[in-house]
Amino acid sequence: MHFFKMHGLGNDFVVVMTRHLPPQPEELARRVCRLHFGVGADGLVFVLPSDTADLAMRIFNADGSEAEMCGNAIRCVAKLAYETRLFPYQQMRIATGAGVKSVELVVEEGKVQSCTVDMGEPILERQAIPMQGPPGQVINEPLVFEDGLVFRITALSFGNPHCVLFVPSVEEAPVEQLGPQLEFHPAFPRRTNAEFVEVVNTSEIKVRVWERGVGETLACGSGACAAAVAAMLNGFVTRKVIVHLSGGDLHIRWDEKDGHVYMTGPAATVFKGEWLGEA
């Protein structure tokens, strides 16, 4: 199996271009993504043909679970598709588990410098996130933990669920302690990603992300979008913000006209190799 090692702001993936999904992709993802014994990555991504778009993307997290959508992975897929001439156009449509997403590339001398992804409209209705509880939006709502602790959260989805907490300092936020508790909280039947957000000013936020099925990562594209929208819904920032993640910055804009969220950021190819299947 030939692969490319890629990352979006340090959120790293093993990317495979293939016509068919291999047998037991969940087990393969666990083996390939395992640090020291495998290639090491946050996820295994397959680039596939599509009947509804220019190409398709399926992503399996390091624990073998399948993610509906990943903002960093889709930028990597778009870059790879363009630079390998699989789809040599600067605008493309990529089918994901969260629907078809449009991507526009900025190219210099044949190399993709950045990608803007139309992430669509944020899903704000509780049942559609999905999250337990009465109908309506989840904005600055108390969430009770088993030990009785209460944290105020804002929840939403971009085809994958997100739970956002605002903290005084992301550096001091208990991400490793609270991240797993939020991911597996019974209020989220399909588990959830968790974003810890510090508001810097009305146009900048800092974010640390606990990714469902992975753990803390250096960046998360859909998580950055969720954090930005949550900050906007709570009145902390304008509709265009810079999101500072551990691995770098993403630019997020929530358009007032079409209601879509647009994410702009880089992707990088590190190396290519061949998986021998012996690990």
Active site residue 220: yes
Cα first-last separation, the chain = 13
The catalytic residue among 76, 115, 163, 220 is: 220
What is d(CA 271, CA 138) in angstroms, rounded to the nearest whole number?
Answer: 42
What is d(CA 226, CA 249) in angstroms, rounded to the nearest whole number?
Answer: 15
- Residues belonging to the chain: 279
- Tell me the backbone φ, ψ of residue 76, rounded to 5 degrees: -65, -45
Number of helices (H) and strands (E) in the chain: give both, helices first.
4, 18
Question: Do β-strands 66-67 and 215-217 pair in parallel, antiparallel, or remain unpaired?
Answer: unpaired
The catalytic residue among 33, 70, 76, 225 is: 70
Helices (H), 60-161: 71-83
> Do 196 and 173 form a contact (C-beta atoms < 8 A)?
yes
Active site residue 163: no
Which helix (H) or strand (E) segment holds residue 183: the answer is helix 175-183
Tokens of residue 189, six digits: 């039947």
Which residues are CB-contacts of 162 (< 8 A; sequence separation ≥ 6)? 155, 156, 192, 193, 194, 195, 222, 223, 226, 227, 230
Which of helix, strand or coil describes residue 272? strand
Residues carrying an active site annotation? 70, 220
